[in-house]
Chains A and B, each alone.
Chain A
Amino acid sequence: MRNIVTQRNGIHRFFLQLGNKWAIIFLILGAMLFSIISPGFLSFNGIQVILFNSPYILLFGLAETFVIITGGGGIDLSVGFVMGFASVVSAKLIALFVSMGMNDLSSIITGIVITLVIGIIPGFVNGILIGRLKVPPFIATFSMLGITHGISELLIKGVVAKNLPALAGKIGNGSLIYIVPGKTVSFFIKPLIQRGGQLIEILPIVFVIPFIFILIFAFILKRTKFGQHTYAIGGNVDAAIRAGIDVKNHLIKIYMLSSFFATIAGILYMLRYITGKADAGVGFLLDGIAAVVIGGASLYGGIGSVWKTIIGCFIILVLENGLRMLGFPTFYKYIVVGIVLIFAVLVDQLFPELIHEEV
């Protein structure tokens, strides 16, 4: 019988609490360390860089949180190339609409809406394969990775999708709030400033949009029936079935959701870099999965939360930016993230009592 006896008194409890929160402590220590050895890390610009780099890992982390919580080996390996696929499809569509004579703004909006619909198809297929046909998630989503990659390359014939209106780049590189010190504050619209004038940009749009989804889906996972059933399926799929939960359809929805977030990531990439690239999301899959696990989710399912994943995301973003500011090329980040991921899994396996007692 797995009966974990936890001593609730004194120092043991203190360390349990500490262990429970190791991710956030790690984040704070990391941020402090980098700001000491690399001045400017926690400066306004330093934070701005982190926020501009954040949308893909945040959205992948959100997607994998739902998928990994459903357990049964649940994982979505296709998000990276679904993101690339979405960037290509949206770029192609917008360029097409513009060439047909539509104005820039309506081309962009129509292109994005159609991409969102097309972008959930890979997730729907994944869900059918995994939920209905009992294909292991690893195989189904790995195959989908190849399929979306191939289709994207076909669409752009091996190069990148370009010829997007300049307005797309303005949205993708824009911010929510602009402040001209001593003069004006404006929202969304970048004020004209004189040469050499100072302009403060707060909250990049590419961060604000994922953050809105994080707020909504953190609430859905924690407070609604949909979230509760997601946890139940991950905790004990037989119990979920016997309790009358429609597990097959639930899994289809979960994988569609995952593709939906990957599609948003692709659209944000297209807006920020004004291109569609088949391999746009290639480096972010490891980051997304690592963020979920660093945030304390169990790869066996049933445990995890959106906010803890977000902490995991920021640990990786802080590491990435800190290493970059110290002059290390990006590939050092992959090594560090890989090691941190293994470390996080080991902590969970060696200290099972770190899992919160209460929910």
Chain B
Amino acid sequence: MEYLLEVKNLTKRFGGLVAVNNVSMGVKEGEVVGLLGDNGAGKSTLIKMVSGVFQPDEGKIFFMGKEVMINSPMKAISIGIETLYQDLALAENLNAYSNIFLGREKLKKVLKFVNVLDNDYMLKESKEVLERLKIEIPSLKNRIRVLSGGQRQAVAIARSIYWNAKLLIMDEPTAALGVSEQKKVLDLVKLLRSQGIGIIIISHQLYDVFSVADRLVIMRRGEKVGERNIKETNPDEVVSLIVGAEKVVQ
């Protein structure tokens, strides 16, 4: 099957430091790829080149079979690549549906010339996308501030899905959550996979990654040191790849 996203020989340098060195990887539709590595391994820099925050110094990015230049976060979003950052980027003082539509508000006209927010429409659409994702939130009119961490995560995911994300990049999606909420988010990841969305998960929690990922890409000091199908590896091997305890040649 063809890759949804494929990066080839990406390199990013910051002055003398080579943050990402000649890395290639890919994600298929309906596939979850876990991106693993210690702090400073280059995971974040790699995904920031895909989400438009950084421009690669060398290498190419292909999305849906075509080479793309992703020169800004808005460009990434417009072609269907959504990134969920650790801090979720939600306005806590606004309610769930306002956050889902933030920056892309649906408007209606009153008195034929005044544009006002079409809250009813946004509420209805938000309900639908949350139902599709089997997410329950007490009231979509509640401010984000009063929601739990998992519910916030769910709203952030719903926002990217509503705008037709084809590829979802998740940076430490379970880091700030309680145990039961972690499970809900992981269930949500599985649901999204079944709906054909490609997902890259960055995480330190090996258990989480093993429970949802189909494939793992392991990075160390800016280089890709291994790629494994989840069924053909085990946490011990992955840990040794991450820390570089043994050189595993594939």
Of B19-27, B58-66, B143-151, which binds chain A? B143-151
The answer to whether B93 and A235 touch across the interface, beta carbons within 8 angstroms, is yes
Evaluate contact between B139 and A243: CB separation under 8 angstroms: no
Question: Size of chain B's interface in residues, with CB distance under 8 A?
Answer: 34
- Could you tell me the distance between the alpha carbons of A102 and B139 in the complex, rounded to whole angstroms? 62
A244 close to chain B: CB less than 8 A? yes
Identify which of B89, B139, B143, B176 contacts A236 (C-beta below 8 A).
B89
> What sequence of 0s and 1s flags, for each residue 128-146 of chain B, a beta carbon within 8 Å of any chain A beta carbon?
0000000000010111011
Q: How far is the CA of A235 from the CA of B85 in the complex (A)?
A: 17
Query: Cβ of A312 < 8 Å from any Cβ of B?
Result: no
B107, A225: Cβ atoms closer than 8 Å: yes
**Pick the contact of B105 from A3, A225, A235, A238 — CB < 8 Å?**
A225
Interface string of A221-249 (1 = CB under 8 A from B): 00111001101101110111011110000
| Chain A residues whose C-beta falls within 8 Å of the C-beta of B99 in the assembled complex | 239
Which residues 83-101 of B sit at the A interface, judged by CB distance below 8 A?
Answer: 85, 87-95, 98-99
Check: A31 CB closer than 8 A to any chain B CB: no
Which of A3, A224, A234, A244 is within 8 Å of B93, CB to CB?
Answer: A234
A302 contact set on B, CB distance < 8 A: 91-93
- Interface status of B116 (Cβ within 8 A of chain A): yes
Interface residue A194 (Cβ < 8 Å from any Cβ of B): no
Given contacts A1-B149, A1-B176, contact A235 B92 (CB under 8 A): yes
Q: Is the CB of B90 within 8 A of A239?
A: yes
Residues of B within 8 A of A239 (CB): 88-91, 99, 102
Of B95, B102, B104, the contact of A359 (CB 8 Å cutoff): B95
A240/B95 contact (C-beta < 8 A), A355-B145, A358-B143, A359-B141 known = no
User: Known interface pairs A240-B102, A355-B143, A357-B142. Does A223 touch B116 (Cβ–Cβ under 8 Å)?
Assistant: yes
Residues of A within 8 A of B74 (CB): 244
Residue from B88, B143, B176 in contact with A357 in the complex, judged by beta carbons closer than 8 Å:
B143
Could you mark each residue 104-122 of chain B with 1 if its beta carbon is under 8 Å from any beta carbon of chain A, else 0? Answer: 1101000000111100000
B103 touches A235 (CB 8 A): no
Which residue of the partner chain, among B92, B93, B103, B178, contacts A243 with CB atoms under 8 Å?
B103
- Is A303 positioned at the interface, with any CB of B under 8 Å from its CB? yes
B73 interface residue, CB < 8 Å from A? Answer: yes
Cα distance, A229 to B107, chains bound together (Å) = 13
CA of A38 to CA of B163, assembled, Å? 61
Residues of B within 8 A of A242 (CB): 73, 85, 89
Interface check A2, CB cutoff 8 A: yes
Q: Known contacts A232-B94, A358-B95, A359-B93; decide if A243 and B145 are in contact (CB<8 Å).
A: no
Cα A173 to Cα B249 in complex, Å, equals: 89
Report Cα–Cα, A302/B102, bound state, in Å: 14
Residues from 151 to 206 in B contacting A, C-beta threshold 8 Å: 176, 178
A43 to B33, CA, bound (A): 74
CB within 8 A of A235: which of B91, B114, B115, B116?
B91
Q: Report A244 CB to chain B, min CB distance, Å.
A: 4
CA distance A239 to B88 in the complex (A): 8
Contacting residues, chain A, for B93 (C-beta < 8 A): 231, 234-235, 302-303, 359
Q: Is the CB of A357 within 8 A of B146?
A: yes
Given contacts A1-B148, A234-B93, contact A359 B73 (CB under 8 A): no
Does A157 have its Cβ within 8 Å of any Cβ on chain B?
A: no
The winner among A6, A224, A235, A356 for most chain B CB atoms within 10 A is A235
How far, in whole Å, are A223 and B98 apart by their CA atoms in the complex?
A: 12
In contact, A243 and B102 (Cβ under 8 angstroms): yes
> Given that A236-B91, A242-B73, A302-B92 are known contacts, is A356 also in contact with B103, CB under 8 Å in the complex?
no
Q: Are B91 and A231 in contact (CB under 8 A)?
A: yes
**Is the pair A240, B116 in contact by a Cβ cutoff of 8 Å?**
no
Closest beta carbon of chain A to B44's beta carbon, Å: 16
> Could you give, for residues 208-232 of chain B, a 1 whenever the CB lies within 8 Å of some chain A CB and a 0 otherwise?
0000000000000000000000000
Q: Are A359 and B143 in contact (CB under 8 A)?
A: yes
- The answer to whether A225 and B117 have CB atoms under 8 Å apart is yes
* Chain B hits for A117, CB < 8 A: none
Contacts of B95 in A (CB 8 A): 358-359
Could you say which residues of chain B place their CB within 8 Å of the CB of A3?
Answer: 146, 148-149
Nearest CB in chain A: distance from B80 CB, A: 15
**A272–B89 Cα gap in the complex (Å)?**
48
**Which residues of the partner chain A approach B117 to less than 8 Å between Cβ atoms?**
223-225, 228
Query: Closest CB of chain A to B54's CB: distance in Å?
Result: 15
Q: Which residue of chain B is the closest to A223 with respect to CB atoms?
A: B116
Known: A4-B145, A359-B143; 20 extra A-B contacts, CB below 8 A, are A1-B178, A3-B148, A224-B117, A228-B105, A232-B91, A232-B94, A234-B93, A236-B90, A236-B91, A239-B88, A242-B85, A242-B89, A243-B102, A244-B103, A244-B104, A302-B91, A302-B93, A303-B93, A356-B143, A359-B94
Residues of B participating in the A interface, judged by any CB pair closer than 8 Å:
73-74, 77, 85, 87-95, 98-99, 102-105, 107, 114-117, 139, 141-143, 145-146, 148-149, 176, 178
| Top-4 shortest CB links A-B | A243-B103, A235-B91, A302-B93, A235-B93
A to B CB contacts below 8 Å, 12 in the list: A1-B149, A4-B145, A225-B117, A235-B93, A236-B91, A236-B92, A238-B89, A239-B88, A239-B90, A240-B102, A243-B104, A359-B95
